[in-house]
Amino acid sequence: MDVALYLGCTIPTQEYAYEVSAREVLPRLGVNLIDLQYAACCGQPLKGLDNLGWLYLASRTIALADQQGAETLLAICNGCHVSICEAKHVLESDDHLRKTIEEMLAEEDLEIKGHVRIRHLLDFLYDDIGPQKIKKALENSQNFNPLVNLKLAAHYGCHIIRPSSIERPDQLDDPSKLEALIEVTGASTAKYPERLECCGAPMLAIVDKESFQIAGNKLIAIQNRGFDGVITVCPFCERMLERQETISRVTGLDVSISSMYYTQLLGLALGIETEKLGLQLNMSSVEIILNKVTR
Amino acid sequence: MDEPRQIVDFSRLDFEFSNYIKQNTNSNPFVCFTCRTCSSLCTSGKVNVLNVAKIVRQIAIGLKDDVLRSKEIWTCATCMKCQEFCPQGVNPLDMIYFLQNKAVEAGMPTIPKAYVEMVTSIAKIGLIQPPQEVISVDFDEFDRAELELPELSMPDAEKIKKNLLKTGFRQVIKELD
Ligand code: SF4
Ligand code: SF4
């Protein structure tokens, strides 16, 4: 299955662990990743500065995918995904804005055709590939390592389940795809009350102390409920939840729990070495998970 | 936010602004019945930096200057809970985005530096920041090459900048040039 991989800004400039593990794991599920060329920012963090500026950047990404003949555009960041999906909705429902954007894109010889399907890692793995096929890939893997000793909490992140006015990878008030994907690895999971809370990352650059408090509140709840770790699918969420040293210092909470990308978790179940999954870059207490899965 | 307490001056009401917001956003400040569902769910409200129900009321009664100058509007975590769960379909988040846009247009000093830097970087290289060196838990430094990641395909940033200058971003790109 060919997909155009769009990494946005944060993953290819800083959150390398997500990129490394996605490139390692997805091909083993029969996915052929073709990098989207000449990609720029999706515009999401700057929506507040100017709506047209945001719409231009998000639409540009759609137009690039169309131009490069992609059938599926895979955005593995929650922010990129919501940005592109909202832009698509605006382009389809507002002729005036669409015309303005078309003129801007024409300057770059780009054009919106609107053919490309937009996917996030979550719905791509759950709906396009499917838990059954992932299970088979695991069982066929020579080094298959069922993660049976782990109890893991799913962290979806806000932008993957909202807004309900457009199609999102999972449900608004009771998503379950990430739990299902965690269970495929052999690990157990449970829906916990704080599950759909925000990680606080969008506030980090504005009011850092308070954003650490938000992340800390969620992490300590997960920890106190007896989970070994938390699994994420967004570079902003993951980066925030990994800053546990700072969170503990600023909030006085004693946070120490594993946090990792779903692609890293799946890689562990496939028996891939930790270095190849970028786990050496992880700033959270990943040893809690690693000690339980090493054979 | 630690802003000095200010008594609202009702001689400064601007109802045109309230109507203008209703007409130009997917939100409606006039149907808010102050149930405070938004505030009780609000991510930034939980740490006392944003009182979103207050912002909605301020808009409804036309306190234009107060909301445009407010630092609070920039602390929204964009979690969209207010948008989803308001029983009256007010959509406070859409108002907040709009207010932020208007604050940029008006050149307010409250615009966070972090955003200005991001836009300026996009105008230069297409991304909010250049690739960073990161450190591992053992304090080893890594970049893309060391992790055997493919070289990044960078966009033609000159063309992007030209287009960005046609948008409200021009206000902030100019600032750093
Ligand atoms: S939830 Fe809606 S109606 Fe209730 S206070 Fe907030 S904006 Fe007003
Ligand atoms: S979107 Fe912003 S204002 Fe609305 S609930 Fe979330 S943090 Fe609060």
Strand order in the sheet with A151-154: A188-189, A151-154, A229-232, A258-261
A119 φ/ψ angles, rounded to the nearest 5 degrees: -130, 150
ipTM over cut 0.90 = yes
The CA-to-CA distance between both ends of chain B, in Å, stands at 31
Report pLDDT digits (tens) over B139-165: 999 999 999 999 999 999 999 999 999
Q: What is the pLDDT of residue B175?
A: 55
The CA-to-CA distance between both ends of chain A, in Å, stands at 32
Q: What is the pLDDT of residue B3?
A: 64
Cβ burial, residue B110 (10 Å; 0-12/13-18/19+): middle
- Which of B37, B58, B84 to mutate to test ligand 1, by most ligand atoms within 8 A of the CB atom? B37
CB distance B95 to ligand 2 below 6 Å: no
DSSP letter (8 states) at residue A124: I
Scored b (16 or more CB within 10 A) or e, B138-173 reads: eeeebebeebebeebeebebebbbebbeebbbbbbb
The set of residues, in sequence order, having a beta carbon less than 8 Å from that of A60 and lying 6+ positions away, is: A40, A105, A108, A110, B160
The rounded distance, in Å, linking the Cα atoms of A4 and A31 is: 10
**A172 C-alpha to center of ligand 1: Å?**
19
For atom 2 of ligand 2, the residue with the nearest CA is B76
The rounded distance, in Å, linking the Cα atoms of B81 and B92 is: 9
CATH class of A130-290: alpha beta
Query: Identity (one letter) of the amino acid at A217?
Result: N
**pTM summary value:** 0.96
CB distance B34 to ligand 1 below 6 Å: yes
CATH of domain A2-119: 1.20.1050.140
Q: What is the pLDDT averaged over residues A38-61? A: 98
The set of residues, in sequence order, having a beta carbon less than 8 Å from that of A274 and lying 6+ positions away, is: A268, A280, A290
Interface mutation vs chain B, best among A42, A49, A253, A282, most B CBs within 10 Å:
A49
Give me chain A's average pLDDT, please. Answer: 97
Q: What are residue A261's DSSP bridge partners? A: A232
Domain ranges of chain A: 2-119, 130-290
The domains located in chain B, with CATH, are 10-105 (1.10.1060.10), 113-176 (no CATH)
For atom 8 of ligand 2, the residue with the nearest CA is B42
- Which of B55, B88, B93 to mutate to test ligand 1, by most ligand atoms within 8 A of the CB atom? B88
The set of residues, in sequence order, having a beta carbon less than 8 Å from that of A225 and lying 6+ positions away, is: A153, A190, A192
Asked if the model's pLDDT at residue B1 lies above 60, the reply is no
Q: Is the Cβ–Cβ distance between A263 and A29 less than 8 Å?
A: no
Report pLDDT digits (tens) over B26-83: 999 999 999 999 999 999 999 999 999 999 999 999 999 999 999 999 999 999 999 9
The rounded distance, in Å, linking the Cα atoms of A186 and A268 is: 11
The rounded distance, in Å, linking the Cα atoms of B158 and B72 is: 34
